[in-house]
Amino acid sequence: MRRISEAFARCRDQGRAALVAYLAAGDPDLETTANLARAVAEGGADVLELGIPFSDPLADGSIIQAAYTRALEGGVTVKRIIEAMPRIAGESGLPLVLMTALNPVLAYGPTAFCRDAAAAGAAGLLVPDLLPEDSGPLREAAAAAGLDTVYLGAPDTSDERLAAAAVLSTGFFYLISRRGVTGPQAGVGDALDALVARARRYCRVPIAVGFGVTDSEDARRVAEVADGVIVGSAFIEAAAEALATARGAGESTASAMSSGADAVRERTEQLMDGIRQARTAVREAKR
C-alpha cells in the first residue's frame, strides 16, 4: 500500500506536482489501452488511473462517455480488464488506481474484486458513487488486499463530508475542481486556491485535482497549488482523434495504434511542461 504514496513523494522531492493520467479500459480495445499506458508513462506521468467502463456514469462528460461506449461495444468486461491488467501495469510501470462505479464491484463480489485487482497489479481503488459512511466493508476488503482507497471532494461538499472523505483516503485525495462533469468545457474553475486550501485542513495525504485540465496552462495552474494533476478527457480525445485519422487514411491497425500512442505521449509531455513551469513560477514568487 505504498506505491502511490511513494510516487507522490518522488514528485515532491523533485519539487513538482504529480501527473495522474486517466485512461478508459478497453477503449477501443485492451491492446490499445496497454499501448496508451506505456505512452503516458514515457511522456512523464507518475500514476495511472484506469476507468472500468459503465453504462450509466455519474460525472463523466461526453468524451469519457463515448470512450465507455466504444469499450462496451467492443465487449470489454470487468473480468477481461482484470485479466489484462498485468500487461497494462507492466507496460506503464506506474502505480495503477482502478476507478469504477459501485455496481460492477458488487456484481463481481467486493472481496473477490479487491483480491483479484490487487493480484493483477492494482495499487488503489476509487469508487465515486460510494459514500464514505457506507464504504466500510469495501474499504476493509481493499485494505486486506493491499489496495489504497481514494475518496473525492467537490466545491459544494460540506466541511463535514469533506473531512470524512479526506480522513478515509489513503494514497491521495481526489479533489474535483468545479461543478459539472469531466471534460474541457469550463476549465478548472476560478476558486481553485481556496478550494485546495479548504481541503488541506482535513487531508493527511496528497491532494490531486481533476476535471477541466486540458492543456499545459491548466496543468500549470493546478500544479501551483495542488500535489497532483489529474487528466483524462484530454488523453482520450487525443488518442481517439489520432486513431480515427489514421484509420481514415487506410493505415493498418498497428500503424493506427502507434499514431494514437504518439498523440497521447505528446499530450503527456505538454502537460508535464506545464507542471514543471509551475515549479519555476512558485520558486520565482518566493524570491
113 and 85 in contact (C-beta within 8 Å)?
no
Query: In the 8-state DSSP scheme, what is residue 190?
Result: S
Longest dimension (CA), the chain: 55
Cell 509531455 maps to which residue?
269
The Cα–Cα gap between 242 and 79 comes to 28
CA–CA separation, 257 vs 208, rounded Å? Answer: 29
Residue from 91, 7, 87, 51 nearest 236 by CA? 51
Helix (H, G, I), strand (E, B) or coil at 124: strand
47 near 4, Cβ under 8 Å?
A: yes
Beta bridge partners of 122: 96
- Total number of residues shown for the chain: 287
Residues with catalytic roles: 49, 60
Q: How far is CA 32 from CA 28, 254, 286, in A?
A: 7, 10, 43
Q: Nearest-CA neighbor of 11 among 281, 252, 161, 229?
A: 229
d(CA 81, CA 213): 26
